[in-house]
Structure 1
Amino acid sequence: MRISLVQFSSGVDVDDNASRAARRVTEAADAGADLVVFPEATMASFAAGRLDVVAQSAERFAAAMAAAARSAGVVVIAGMFLPADAVGGKNRIDNVAAVFYPDGRRETYAKMHCYDAFGYRESATVRPGTNLVTCEVAGTTVGLAVCFDIRFPEQFVKLAARGAELIVVPASWSAGPGKTEQWELLARARALDSTSVVAAVDQALPEGSDPEEPTGPPLGVGHSLVVGPDGQIVACAGRGEGLLTVDVDLEAVARVRRAIPVVALRGSEPLVEE
């Protein structure tokens, strides 16, 4: 299976983001991709202001992504915001990885672990998801996670226990001291935990920004990467916008799982129960 990771730089204009993303889908399809993965918050940057207001444009963005998937004949995964609930007088949204199939089907995974860290409190505006989600692409089971989820190994092991061979992680990673190194280390660790291929796609580093300097809202540091089931980096992007297209070695997943069946050896531990 061939995948394209789109290291994207979302702005605050939903329609402009949708238009630019659609062009990237075409570019990825021309490169032979079966699956095109965008970052978290592709629909609009976390700098766009009130996310509940941004989420009112969700269907317009989704329609554009669905049309792009249909036209290009590929599966597209993109980060977007959906209206959710109200807590303490504040409207919250679901921060989702949305899956768009060429035949018009859609699926969504809502981020389970809110980014309540480093002085940021995502749960004030985002409702935590409650369900693990996998999807099928070119005969392969693909697990879904979003950004801060990458710090929780049990989620990746559970996805592998449900058959995922590839786990994609759209993100808008926060800048700060050592944060790029953490991003890479976590992607490699989750690949080892689950003996899966991990495709972690981040927002591009904003132009003129320093990846070591915190930005307030998480806006991305670039450095998208694909990691094999043995924890080795297969491919890695730089800081700016671009397309990273990789052939996923599913035979390597089977080979590593035979050699070191860590998911199977967990047996009936609660970690892998439904």
Structure 2
Amino acid sequence: MRIAAAQILSTGDPEKNLVTVTEAVREAAAAGARVVVLPEASSQAFGTGRLDERAEELDGPFAEGVRAVAEETGTVVVVGMFRPADQAFRDGRTVNRVFNTALITGPGVDDHYDKIHTYDAFDYEESATVKPGERVVTFDVDGVRLGVAICFDLRFPELFRELACRGAHAVVVPTSWADGPGKLEQWLLVTRARAMDTGCYIVGADQALPEEETDGPTGVGHSVVVGPDAGIVEEAGDRPGIIYADIDTEAVAQQRRTLPVLPR
């Protein structure tokens, strides 16, 4: 099964971003992709205004537009968006929190995953505005089982091992991996480490590196497909573009026979 990681640079405008997502899905489908993975925050880039003001439900315009292009192209699309969650009382005020969601949609598939591990690190508290998810999610396409994680989840190997124990041959990871000293090296390290932990393919779709400095974490680019032996199969540069790889379930089985790191 051919999978694509579409590296885009989203903006603060969900309508404009839907056009970008639609064009990327059509391009990937024309190249033979059955699954197209796009970054975290594809509906609205971080640092472009309050997330709760543009968050949409799973039947909102952004999600419905993605469903339309998935149906049109016969692909399954995994794409990052934000949707309303709850209200929390923080620092003397009420905050409308959102879910950081990966929409999963296409012929025969309609599901979503809410990011479980919010980025509460380095004096930043993502959980103040983003409600953590609770549900581990897998889905099947053409006999291949795929698990879903989002960005900071990569720091938590137990989630990836759980997905592998549920039969995942690959884990797709929509991401908005902030730039900074050592961040690219960490990105490539953790994606390869999660492959080593599981014998899975890891498909990380990152936001492209902006040409100008921004107010929020966008991406470093370098979307990547890592093989079950932790070798890099494909890696993008830092600008928008699409990379492709074929998921070989027998390669996963062989890796797990050779190096049985999962519980029996």
Q: Name the TM-score class by shorter chain.
A: over 0.9
| Matching of residues 9-48 of structure 1 within 5 Å | 9-48=9-48
Cα deviation code 1:31-75 (max 9, x no counterpart): 000100000001110122111111047610001000000000000
Q: What stretches of structure 1 of length at least 5 have no aligned partner?
A: 210-214, 266-274
Residue 76 of structure 2: aligned partner: 75
Task: Count the aligned residue pairs.
Answer: 259
Match of 1:135 among 120, 134, 139: 139
Task: Indicate how the Cα distance of structure 1 residues 251 and 11 shifts in structure 2: closer, same or farther if over 3 A, else same.
Answer: same
Q: What SS is found at the alignment partner of 2:210?
A: coil
Q: Using the alignment, how far apart are the partners of 1:117 and 1:219 within structure 2?
A: 17
Q: Does 1:183 align with 2:187?
A: yes
Q: What SS is found at the alignment partner of 2:181?
A: coil
Cα deviation code 1:224-273 (max 9, x no counterpart): 101111111111000000011111222210100111111134xxxxxxxx
Match of 2:159 among 155, 168, 182: 155
Residue 229 of structure 2: aligned partner: 230
Q: Using the alignment, how far apart are the partners of 2:154 and 2:19 within structure 1?
A: 29
More helix by share: 1
TM-score between the two structures when normalised by the length of structure 1? 0.92
Tell me which moved more, 66-75 or 46-55: 46-55
**Deviation beyond 3 Å, 4+ runs, structure 1:** none
Q: Using the alignment, how far apart are the partners of 2:6 and 2:77 within structure 1?
A: 10
Identical-pair percentage: 49
Q: Which amino acid aligns with 1:96?
A: T
Q: Which amino acid aligns with 1:51?
A: L
Q: Does 1:102 align with 2:107?
A: yes
| Matching of residues 110-121 of structure 1 within 5 Å | 110-121=114-125
Q: Which amino acid aligns with 2:76?
A: V
Q: CA deviation at 1:201?
A: 1.0
Q: What SS is found at the alignment partner of 2:225?
A: strand
Residue 204 of structure 2: aligned partner: 200
Q: CA deviation at 1:216?
A: 5.1
Residue 262 of structure 2: aligned partner: 263
Cα deviation code 1:202-224 (max 9, x no counterpart): 00001135xxxxx6521111011
TM-score between the two structures when normalised by the length of structure 2? 0.95
Cα deviation code 1:158-190 (max 9, x no counterpart): 000000010011100111110000000000000
Q: What SS is found at the alignment partner of 1:47?
A: coil
| Matching of residues 50-89 of structure 1 within 5 Å | 50-56=50-56, 59-88=60-89, 89=94
Q: Which amino acid aligns with 1:30?
A: A
Q: What SS is found at the alignment partner of 2:54?
A: helix
CA contact (8 A) 1:145 1:167 kept: yes
Q: Which amino acid aligns with 1:68?
A: V
